[in-house]
Amino acid sequence: MSTLTDERTTELIEQFQQHFGGAPTYVSRGAGRVNLIGEHTDYNDGFVLPVALKRDVRFVLRPRADRQVRLFSVEFGESGAFDLDNLRYIPEQLWINYIQGMAQSLEQEGIRLTGIDAVFSGNVPRASGLSSSAALEIASAHAFLAAAGQTGVLSGPRIAQLAQRAENHFVGVNCGIMDQFISELGRENHALLIDCRSLEYTLVPMPEDAALVIGNTRASRSLASSAYNERRAECEQGVALLQPVLPGIRALRDVTSAQLEAHRALLPENVYLRCRHVVSENERVLQTVAALQAGDLVRVGQLMNASHDSLRDDYLVSSPALDAMVGAMRSVEGCYGARLTGAGFGGCAVALVKPGYEQAMADAIFEHYPKATNIWPEVYMTKAADGAGVEQLLLA
């Protein structure tokens, strides 16, 4: 049974026929993601535990005989085009740069691409912390590889690395590896433990009685990028100040809570608090994996709650909107735990809930959150889904 030829793909095929004539030959998918736990650990060589979402970015496409790429974005309602032999950043059409960057990254890997005609669409909310950009990169990677007859040539982890390179070097966003990794490698009913230093990964089964509810605050994330750079610098400062007494450390991933407490006096208070979040968060990720493997969702919820409190109090990346969202989630009887997910300051929170309580949580969010913020939220219910995929379209 095909997983990608559903109603959404059928609508994309109709759009393709309107814009390009004839039929597309492939459909590709890159998944959005939500991080269960492990926030701001990735750039400290630490551990993260995301799941892929059922929400995704999809391309329907047809290879061309030349090196021209012609695109239509359903959400933006606009066309774009570029030449694979003349890739250049286009500031007035930001979305196309993620696709150009992916093409450049694949060609730098030695894969000769062919042009494509493609229509793409995503139902991952943009600017919400659910990685719509990584989903776009991964979906376009599989579109280009399929068109060039190169499906299966690259490993999943390598595709993720090339997508990260595209975003870092072509788009100019200094993201970590987590988003592309889970978009590519996610599996249904599993979380993915990623070691951001070695890039080793382990699929962790999600218990049957675990459902996820995501609350989108729809609040501005204008502070996120400047604060991200500040926090990253504070973490690096912490490592530099601790290295004389802990000479083996390369990143906060190498520091235990006991070591941090023993040498607290070496650190300015703000640096100590940032380090305390990262060190304790890494420990919480591994404890969460153990709890999931034991089926102890109460413990997972406690760890998620502790993660949010640490992000709020030590890392200072929460916001009144996120705290209101998490508070509404935690007020529901069937909630094991809830926390902000993503960089912070806005975007989304995620809750682990008992199946059957999802609607009660949505109702609580719609009741409490707008009163606290004067913002109408969005709520998504999901379970862990498959990551990337590509299929040939067998159209009558």
Would you please indicate which residues are annotated as catalytic (active-site) residues? 179
What pairs with residue 378 in β-bridges? 216
CA distance 284 to 76: 39
Tokens 């650990």: give the residue. 41
Q: How many CB atoms lie within 10 A of CB 186?
A: 24
132-147 and 94-108 helices cross at what angle (nearest 10)? 50
- For residue 379, what are the CA distances in angstroms to 51, 121, 358? 17, 20, 10
- For residue 226, what are the CA distances in angstroms to 13, 231, 343? 41, 9, 11
CA distance 26 to 258: 53
- Can you read off the two tokens belonging to residue 362? 């949505």
